[in-house]
Amino acid sequence: MRARDLVHNGHRILTAPLSGSVKPWETPYRSIMVTSAHDDAVDAFSLDIMERALAIISHSKRSPETIAESILHDFQIIDLSLIDSALPSAEAIGVYRIPDKETEVKR
């Protein structure tokens, strides 16, 4: 919902909202990358893909109410990996900069 609101404020969706084969009702985590800069106009493609995704999620069944801590951790790892896989492409179009390794080591 927050991603859709951002689209309405002129941000563009960069990653597929239904990424991964973990089903929408299974995982409580779903990261979506959007542009930090925004235009005045709403991006039609972003809006369309968000609406389609939300329609699928709203029609899907309810998530289990309790999920063990260790499984939540695994869902987080998968969600992180999916969004991580988009970083090189995001860097290529200049919307993200992958920190260089030297800086990371110094920290």
Partner 1 sequence: MKLELGYVDINGIRFGDHNAIEDRVLVVNPDELLEPVLADPLIKTARFEIANPGESIRITPVKDVIEPRVKVEGPGGIFPGVISKVDTVGSGKTHVLRGMAVVTAGPIVGFQEGIIDMTGVGAEYTPFSQLHNLVLVMEPVAGAGQHEYEKAARLAGLRTAVAVGELARELTPDETVVYETASIADGFKEPLSELPRVGYVMMLQSQGLLHDTYVYGVDAKRTLSTMISPTELMDGAIISGNCVSACDKNTTYHHLNNPVIQDLFKAHGKTLNFVGMIITNENVFLDDKIRSSDWTAKMAEYLALDGAIVSQEGFGNPDTDLIMNCTKLENKGIKTVIITDEYAGSDGKSQSLADADELANAVVTAGNANEMIVLPPMERVIGTLDYIDKIAGGHDGSLRPDGSIEAELQVIIGSTNELGFNRMSAR
Using CB under 8 A, list all residues that contact partner 1: 13-24, 26, 33, 45, 49, 52-53, 56, 59, 61, 64, 66, 68, 70-71, 73-75, 77-78, 81-86, 88-90, 93
The residues near 78 (Cβ < 8 Å, ≥ 6 apart) are 20, 22, 27, 29
Cβ nearer to partner 1, comparing 18 with 42: 18
Counting every residue written for the chain, the total comes to: 107
Cα 55 from Cα 85, distance rounded (Å): 25
Which one, 21 or 103, has the nearer CB to partner 1?
21
